[in-house]
Structure 1
Amino acid sequence: MKIMVIDDSSTIRRSAEIFLGQAGYQVVLADDGFDALAKMNDHRPALIFCDILMPRLDGYQTCALIKKSARFHDTPVVMLSSKDGLFDRARGAMVGSDAYLTKPFTKDSLLKTVRQYTAPALSK
């Protein structure tokens, strides 16, 4: 199963890649929203983790574009942010995000989120 991680921080991308790779997932990395949108058709991720604060195209805009896409509107998007405010969560929900994960995340919290949003896909 492929999981996309969109984050402008190489540290966060690398951490997610290690945690998810150890759990047996294929990981597709993107350093901003434009990079992610360019890679989505080729890789068709089952789940997307998307940072909020990124240059060029931020996480809210990226999530909104993914959710407006006919092909990817059902793909779960989990927002990543170092801010854990109600406003950020609400704004993420408004653009269609499925969940919110606060950075820095632990391996357990990351994998728990993956299982939560991919378990139905496994039973199909």
Structure 2
Amino acid sequence: MNLNSNANGLAGLKVMVIDDSKTIRRTAETLLRKEGCEVLTAVDGFEALAKIAEHKPAIIFVDIMMPRLDGYQTCALIKNNPQFRGTPVIMLSSKDGLFDKARGRIVGAEQYLTKPFTRDELLGAIQRHVGQPA
């Protein structure tokens, strides 16, 4: 799939972005909407879990450092639910540590992106985990 094929491959794809930073949510939402994705956002894990159950996104991007329920806990809860175990979860963090990446793997995250992420990183993650032709 060509990442420049605007709105073709990703049109209608439900993507969830969970981050307590309004800037990050808005940036990701703008990038993904341009590609034709349907974007759901949440400020923390609690808000996200309710929306995930209702909307069933195809892929979830989750920030690690959040109040109340952090990204690791959120990812673990998603992966512990049989209905969403297969949903790819991509961790987002401003830290690029080996420990953080390992911890993300332990709770079941498919990938780890360091913030600030680029458009290509965001779309590349979607293509890698969802965008494969069936």
Alignment of 1:40 with 2:47, yes or no, is: no
Instruction: Quote the residue 1:59 is aligned against.
Output: 71
Q: Which of 25, 32, 36 is equivalent to 1:20?
A: 32
Render the CA deviation track for 1:11-65: whole Å, top value 9, x for unaligned. 0000000000001110000000000001111110000000000000000000000
Match for residue 103 of structure 1?
115
Aligned equivalent of 1:3: 15
| SS of aligned partner of 2:131 | helix
- Deviation for aligned residue 1:98: 0.4
Tell me the distance in 2 between the aligned counterparts of 1:77 and 1:29: 14
Unpaired segments ≥5 residues, structure 2: 1-12
Corresponding pairs, count: 122
Q: Which protein has the larger Cα radius of gyration, Structure 1 or Structure 2?
A: 2
* TM-score between the two structures when normalised by the length of structure 2: 0.89
SS in 2 for 1:119: coil
Runs of 5+ consecutive residues of structure 1 not aligned to the other structure: none
How far apart, in 1, do the equivalents of 2:50 and 2:40 lie?
12
Q: Give me the whole-angstrom Cα distance separating, in 1, the residues matched to 2:41 and 2:56.
A: 12
Cα deviations across residues 59-88 of structure 1 (Å, max 9, x unaligned)? Answer: 000000000001100000000000000000
Q: Percent identity at matched positions?
A: 61
Q: CA deviation at 1:119?
A: 1.9
Give RMSD over aligned pairs. Answer: 0.7
Higher helix fraction (1 or 2): 1
1:88 matched to 2:113? The reply is no
